[in-house]
């Protein structure tokens, strides 16, 4: 479905069904340079299992109009506005990577917009390797390659996609290559500049954090530092899984989301 | 500067798409010789049928053994996904039928496999899809053949049988300037010699039967989805960008984005047309792919030796292979095919059709048959076999003279291949 937010048309995948306004809303937020399709193995499932599932293309990403927003705080304010535009009341927010930072900030800055947050590949700080940042600034294919390389666990670099015929490595790289020039850099720069400050202390909603043991982009140690500052948090560990967990182990993430959101 | 830690081509040839079987520990890919799969419960079954969750339902749509082959070829090509089919022709049809409907139009190279030419020229028009054939070396011909109804540009990475090298970046650019995808048949190059997606192709298809399998014991085809083409950027591809009643109004581009083609080709194309690959064939083809890099290296080395011999042979009037300095695409081949321009070549034999027949009848090591890309050396006289359905006019347009012999250079000792050719050439001149 499309909504209008700040004068731009925003594309939202709803799992192939019309949003049922009587169901609890779940808003899924993608990571840097990506789009709604990172949730393709979860959106349709949630939409047929009792939720109004909405995987958003953030401004300037995927099929959405507008320019990408340049800070996590701005993105969080925009998401709160979008939730208001959708008009289904407070939503469960599921965020991956940059989307997890946005979710944290929405929960802290706009508590009335959020029912619960589920964070995948999360950390209180996300410093970006300078070579990756440089490649992204130059719009080089090296940036999608590095994100893909570091973003997947060892197993995902060999095999293991439960969807017959799909190859995860090229799937991730191709998705990032489709981003408009400047989008990956914008997002990585926003992650790199993010400072959590007292955000953890300001969050009052329940939180689920999912960490992959082979996550090189938000390593378990960094996730632990985030979790240490949060209250009412449920930490889930996934062994042998990297940063792109909803693609690497879609079945486990589906089960975990269903469990957390119910 | 850091580099991506990607597994390399030779490693992917052996491993991509497979983990040791979790139940038995089997290191080799098991042959899942089954038609169907038990559902856990009704909810899981409903989820599978509604594309809510991945998994196997029925082997016409997907099979665990075939899925390993699909993932492996996608990995080697750098595609986001792959769908295997019963044959190379089925792969072409699957791709075409997934993105086109009656009223649509193809611009295709005129120098392609006779079977594909036949399908485009005679068969698909019965279903409302027409084709304009062009000289693959003439960019203006490609441009001027595109109409508002065009939905696909198609060519072989190495033409058949003239071994024209496709300027993939240039033709891809022409396609993309017109909002169209480029599909290439990369059977002759394999991903070892050319990564067509990296060069700009949007869809890559193979007859896996040929070099990828390498042994000539199993038929198969594959469609590889490059994942870079935006199917929703215009209104030309409604099968991918618009709701589809076959799965309760799903829009594949909206749900799967860069993987839309792979998903629809399987969910609709294999389900409805049913040209599925058998799991046993997938197993055989996987054994071949394990040694693809080693074999292709040797194919190219042997081809170099054979070309050198033929260029000096008295009974040979011309040799067509991009490694020959006089070949029109010699420089392009050096640029696009740095590891070699494949193991298929053609040559003209002094004495025309009759001498050609005598040559074919006198080879003893090389096999006379309608295939290429076998581990064994193969010879063929296209005018009397693969291209016999073409009219005299189409034969000339396709560059198939009556004196043309096609050679698929195998993996035998090159001295033995050359001895066989020398003996048959000598006999061909004793008419």
> Which pLDDT tens digit goes with each residue over B106-136?
999 999 988 999 999 999 999 999 999 999 9
Phi/psi at A51 (5° precision): -130, 150
Say yes or no: B211 and B274 in one domain: yes
- pLDDT beyond 80 at B300: yes
Instruction: Count how many pairs of residues, chain A against chain B, have C-beta atoms within 8 Å.
Output: 147
Interface of B with A in 241-300 (CB under 8 A): 247-251, 254-259, 262, 266
How many CB atoms are located within 10 Å of the residue B137 CB? 18
pLDDT for residue A72: 97
Instruction: Say how many domains are in chain B.
Output: 2
Nearest chain A Cα distance for residue B65, angstroms? 10
- Chain A partners within 8 Å of B82 (Cβ): 165, 167
Compare all CA atoms of chain A with the CA of B61 and give the residue at the minimum distance: A164
| Domain final position from B264, B288, B312 | B288
Nearest chain B Cα distance for residue A237, angstroms? 21
Contacts (Cβ under 8 Å, ≥6 apart) of A243: A97, A121, A150, A151, A152, A212, A215, A216, A217, A218
pLDDT for residue B383: 72
- ipTM of predicted assembly, 2 dp: 0.95
- pLDDT beyond 90 at A127: yes
Under 8 Å between Cβ of B221 and B89: yes
Domains of chain A: 2-126+194-261 (3.40.50.1820)
Say yes or no: B317 and B262 in one domain: no
Compare all CA atoms of chain A with the CA of B74 and give the residue at the minimum distance: A167
Domain presence at residue B4:
no
Under 8 Å between Cβ of B205 and B223: yes
pLDDT for residue B165: 97
pLDDT-above-90 percentage for chain B: 85
Compare CB distances from A165 to B83, B227, B255 and report the shortest one's residue. B83
Under 8 Å between Cβ of A110 and A209: no
Contact A16 B83 (CB under 8 A): no
- pLDDT beyond 80 at B386: no
Between the CA of residue B267 and those of A136, A246, B34, B57, B97, what are the distances in Å?
35, 22, 19, 11, 13
Averaged pLDDT, B35-39:
96
Q: Which CATH number belongs to the domain containing residue B26 in this structure? A: 3.40.640.10
Say yes or no: B202 and B112 in one domain: yes
Q: Distance between CA atoms of A25 and B207, rounded to whole angstroms?
A: 47
Compare CB distances from B2 to A146, A159, A177 and report the shortest one's residue. A146
- pLDDT beyond 70 at B388: no
- Chain B partners within 8 Å of A149 (Cβ): 4-6
Q: Is B335 on the interface with A (CB under 8 A)?
A: no
Phi/psi at B361 (5° precision): -75, -10
Averaged pLDDT, B239-244:
94
Domain presence at residue B282:
yes
Averaged pLDDT, A215-243:
94
Averaged pLDDT, B68-92:
98
Structural tokens at position B20: 């040791």
Nearest chain A Cα distance for residue B300, angstroms? 28
Q: Name the band, by pLDDT with cuts 50, 70 and 90, for residue A75.
A: very high
B330 half-sphere exposure, CB direction, 13 A CA radius: 8
- pLDDT beyond 70 at B398: no
Q: Is B17 on the interface with A (CB under 8 A)?
A: yes
Averaged pLDDT, A5-28:
94
- pLDDT beyond 80 at B75: yes
User: Mean pLDDT in chain B?
Assistant: 94
Compare all CA atoms of chain B with the CA of A172 and give the residue at the minimum distance: B80
- pLDDT beyond 90 at B356: no
Q: Name the band, by pLDDT with cuts 50, 70 and 90, for residue B287.
A: very high
Say yes or no: B249 and B302 in one domain: no
Domain presence at residue B58:
yes
- pLDDT beyond 70 at B141: yes
Under 8 Å between Cβ of B111 and B138: no
Q: Is B392 on the interface with A (CB under 8 A)?
A: no
Compare CB distances from B228 to A163, A178, A254 and report the shortest one's residue. A178
Q: What radius of gyration, in Å, describes the C-alpha atoms of chain A?
A: 17
| Domain final position from B233, B266, B288 | B288
Say yes or no: B203 and B312 in one domain: no
Q: Name the band, by pLDDT with cuts 50, 70 and 90, for residue B247.
A: confident
Contact A170 B55 (CB under 8 A): no
Contacts (Cβ under 8 Å, ≥6 apart) of A215: A121, A153, A223, A241, A242, A243, A245
Q: Is B7 on the interface with A (CB under 8 A)?
A: yes
Contacts (Cβ under 8 Å, ≥6 apart) of B398: B110, B111, B112, B114, B117, B162, B387, B390
pTM over 0.90: yes
Closest CA to B151 of B196, B98, B82, B85: B98
Q: Distance between CA atoms of A249 and A254, rounded to whole angstroms?
A: 9
Under 8 Å between Cβ of A58 and A180: no
Contacts (Cβ under 8 Å, ≥6 apart) of B23: none
Domain presence at residue B109:
yes
Averaged pLDDT, B302-326:
96
Q: Distance between CA atoms of A195 and B18, rounded to whole angstroms?
A: 41
- pLDDT beyond 80 at A58: yes
Contact B75 A178 (CB under 8 A): no
Q: Is B84 on the interface with A (CB under 8 A)?
A: yes
Averaged pLDDT, A218-234:
92
Say yes or no: B19 and B104 in one domain: yes
Interface of B with A in 346-385 (CB under 8 A): none
pLDDT-above-70 percentage for chain B: 97
What sign does the CA torsion over B253, B269, B389, B127 have?
negative
Q: Name the band, by pLDDT with cuts 50, 70 and 90, for residue B214.
A: very high
The helix/strand/coil state of B228 is coil
- Chain A partners within 8 Å of B84 (Cβ): 165
Nearest chain B Cα distance for residue A111, angstroms? 30
Q: Name the band, by pLDDT with cuts 50, 70 and 90, for residue B73.
A: very high
Closest CA to A27 of A7, A12, A6, A44: A12
Under 8 Å between Cβ of B163 and B346: yes
Say yes or no: B272 and B304 in one domain: no
Domain presence at residue B1:
no
Q: Name the band, by pLDDT with cuts 50, 70 and 90, for residue A197.
A: confident
pLDDT in tens, A20-47: 999 999 999 999 999 999 999 999 999 9
Nearest chain B Cα distance for residue A230, angstroms? 32
Compare CB distances from B80 to A63, A160, A167 and report the shortest one's residue. A167
Say yes or no: B233 and B342 in one domain: no
Under 8 Å between Cβ of B149 and B179: no
Domain holding B46, by residue range, is 9-288
- pLDDT beyond 90 at B220: yes
Compare CB distances from A157 to B7, B232, B258 and report the shortest one's residue. B7
Q: Name the band, by pLDDT with cuts 50, 70 and 90, for residue B392.
A: low
The helix/strand/coil state of B77 is helix
Between the CA of residue A168 and those of A200, B17, B118, B405, what are the distances in Å?
33, 10, 36, 43
Averaged pLDDT, A192-198:
92
Averaged pLDDT, A129-154:
97
Nearest chain B Cα distance for residue A197, angstroms? 31
How many CB atoms are located within 10 Å of the residue B147 CB? 13
Contact B17 A167 (CB under 8 A): yes
Say yes or no: B324 and B284 in one domain: no
Q: Which of A137, A154, A164 to mutate to test the interface with B (most CBs of B within 10 A)?
A: A164
- pLDDT beyond 80 at B395: no
What counts of helices (H) and strands (E) characterise chain B? 18, 12
Say yes or no: B81 and B157 in one domain: yes
- pLDDT beyond 70 at B184: yes
Say yes or no: B306 and B334 in one domain: yes
Q: Which CATH number belongs to the domain containing residue B323 in this structure? A: 3.90.1150.10
DSSP state letters, B348-412: EETTHHHHHHHHHHH-SSSEESS--S-SS-EEE-GGGTTTTTS-HHHHHHTT--TTEEEEE--SS
Say yes or no: B99 and B156 in one domain: yes
Contact B262 A165 (CB under 8 A): yes
């Amino acid at each position: 479905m499309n909504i209008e937010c700040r004068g731009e048309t925003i594309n939202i995948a709803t799992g192939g069904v019309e949003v049922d306004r009587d169901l609890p809303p779940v808003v899924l937020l993608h990571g840097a340079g990506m789009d709604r399709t990172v949730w393709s193995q979860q959106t349709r499932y949630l939409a047929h299992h009792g939720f109004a599932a909405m995987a958003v293309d953030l401004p300037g990403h995927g099929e959405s109009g507008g320019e990408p927003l340049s800070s996590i705080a701005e993105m969080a304010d925009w998401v709160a506005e979008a939730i208001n535009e959708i008009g289904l009341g407070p939503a469960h927010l599921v965020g991956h990577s940059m989307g997890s930072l946005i979710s944290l900030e929405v929960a802290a800055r706009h508590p009335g917009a959020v029912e619960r947050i589920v964070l995948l590949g999360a950390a209180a700080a996300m410093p970006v390797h300078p070579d990756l940042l440089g490649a992204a600034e130059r719009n080089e294919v090296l940036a999608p390659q590095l994100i893909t390389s570091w973003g997947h666990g060892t197993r995902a670099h060999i095999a293991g996609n439960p969807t017959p015929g799909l190859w995860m490595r090229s799937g991730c790289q191709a998705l990032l290559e489709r981003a408009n020039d400047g989008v990956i850099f914008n997002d990585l720069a926003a992650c790199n500049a993010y400072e959590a400050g007292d955000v953890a202390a300001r969050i009052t909603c329940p939180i689920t954090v999912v960490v992959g043991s082979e996550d090189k982009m938000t390593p378990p140690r960094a996730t632990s530092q985030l979790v240490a500052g949060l209250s009412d948090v449920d930490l889930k560990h996934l062994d042998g899984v990297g940063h792109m967990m909803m693609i690497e182990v879609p079945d486990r993430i589906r089960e975990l989301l269903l469990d957390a959101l119910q | 500067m850091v580099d991506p830690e990607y597994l390399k081509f030779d490693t992917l040839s052996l491993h991509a798409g497979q983990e040791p079987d979790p139940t038995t520990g089997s290191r080799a890919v098991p042959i899942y010789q089954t038609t169907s799969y038990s559902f856990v419960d009704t909810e899981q079954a409903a989820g599978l049928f509604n594309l809510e969750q991945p998994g196997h339902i029925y082997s016409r749509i997907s099979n665990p053994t075939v899925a390993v082959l699909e993932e492996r070829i996608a990995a080697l090509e750098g595609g986001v996904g792959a769908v295997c089919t019963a044959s190379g022709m089925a792969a072409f049809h699957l791709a075409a039928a997934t993105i086109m409907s009656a009223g649509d139009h193809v611009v295709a190279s005129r120098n392609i496999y006779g079977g594909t030419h036949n399908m485009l020229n005679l068969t698909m028009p019965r279903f409302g899809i027409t084709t304009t054939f062009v000289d693959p070396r003439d960019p203006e011909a490609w441009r001027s053949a595109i109409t508002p109804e065009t939905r696909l540009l198609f060519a072989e990475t190495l033409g058949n049988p003239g071994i024209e090298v496709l300027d993939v970046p240039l033709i891809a650019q022409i396609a993309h300037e017109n909002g169209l995808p480029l599909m290439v048949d990369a059977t002759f190059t394999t991903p070892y010699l050319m990564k067509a997606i990296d060069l700009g192709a949007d869809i890559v298809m193979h007859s896996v039967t040929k070099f990828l399998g390498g042994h000539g014991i199993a038929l198969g085809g594959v469609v590889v989805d490059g994942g870079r083409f935006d199917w929703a950027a215009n209104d030309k591809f409604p099968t991918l960008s618009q709701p589809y009643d076959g799965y309760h109004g799903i829009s594949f581009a909206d749900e799967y984005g860069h993987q839309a083609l792979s998903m629809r080709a399987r969910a609709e194309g294999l389900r409805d047309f049913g040209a599925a690959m058998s799991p046993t064939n997938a197993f055989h083809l996987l054994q071949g792919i394990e040694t693809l890099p080693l074999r292709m290296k040797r194919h190219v080395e042997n081809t170099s030796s054979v070309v050198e011999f033929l260029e000096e042979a008295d009974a040979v009037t011309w040799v067509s292979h991009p490694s020959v300095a006089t070949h029109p695409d010699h420089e392009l081949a050096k640029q696009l095919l740095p590891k070699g321009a494949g193991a298929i070549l053609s040559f003209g034999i002094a004495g025309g059709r009759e001498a050609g027949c005598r040559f074919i009848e006198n080879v003893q090591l090389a096999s006379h048959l309608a295939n290429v890309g076998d581990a064994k050396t193969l010879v063929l006289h296209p005018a009397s076999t693969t291209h016999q359905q073409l009219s005299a006019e189409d034969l000339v347009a396709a560059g198939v003279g009556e004196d043309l012999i096609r050679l698929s250079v195998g993996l035998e000792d090159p001295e033995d291949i050359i001895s066989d050719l020398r003996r048959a050439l000598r006999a061909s001149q004793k008419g």
